Amino acid sequence: MVTTAAFSGAVKDVAPPKHLRRRVVAMVEPAPKRAFVFLPWAVSAMLAIALLSVAVTRTKETAPDTSKLAEALTVLNDPVAKEVMFGDPAARGRVFVGSKGVVLIAANLPKIDAGRTFELWLIPSAGKPVPAGTFQGEAVAGGANATSAVYVYHGDTANAAVVAVTVEPTGGSAQPTTTPFIVTKL
């Protein structure tokens, strides 16, 4: 103890260089949390609000259908869910693909004729496209011929390598009859 006190007085105090201090502190500090950790929750909350508002605005005679909201949240809360953005001058949006389904949020969909519908396809890396349901777009308020859609497919997506959307006859098709206007690789 006496020796330690003697040595401590024999050495002049020197402030370490700033770069050395930063390196030492960086080695012992916990890694900073990334700011976008809450992004999936924020997207889930926004989608839930959008789907809920659509369900609530139905006529007063019918009860709101919250089953689609529950299915969408199942996909969005799936820890292995992937988000893929798509867009060109025409259709734009996002596709969320989880192990138990797909949520498609699209804007600027093409105008389709009566007797036609949009159809979602799950395309495996090898094999034929698998139909994943049909849906209609909704006119956007204030938009001339602008159409948007939120569609939820609840089912197996294990083999899907691509999600695509085509325009098909009402009721859908067993295989695509038109060229897909949305194609998203997973």
- Alpha-carbon distance of 158 to 146, in angstroms, equals 33
Burial 114-150 (b: 16+ CB within 10 A, else e): eebbbbbbbbeeeeebbbbbbbebeeeeeeeeebbbb
Other C-beta atoms lying within 10 Å of the C-beta of residue 158: 8
Contact 181, 167 (CB under 8 A): yes
Give the predicted TM-score (pTM) of the model: 0.65
DSSP 8-state code for residue 48 = H
H helices within the chain, ranges in order? 2-10, 18-28, 39-56, 67-76
Per-residue pLDDT of the chain (186 residues; tens, 9 = 90+): 555 555 556 656 666 667 666 666 666 666 555 555 555 665 666 666 665 555 555 544 455 567 777 888 888 888 899 999 988 767 889 999 999 899 999 988 988 999 999 999 999 999 999 999 999 988 766 555 668 888 999 999 989 999 999 999 999 999 999 999 999 998
Class of residue 102 by CB neighbours under 10 A (exposed 0-12, middle 13-18, buried 19+): buried
Widest distance between CA atoms in the chain: 96
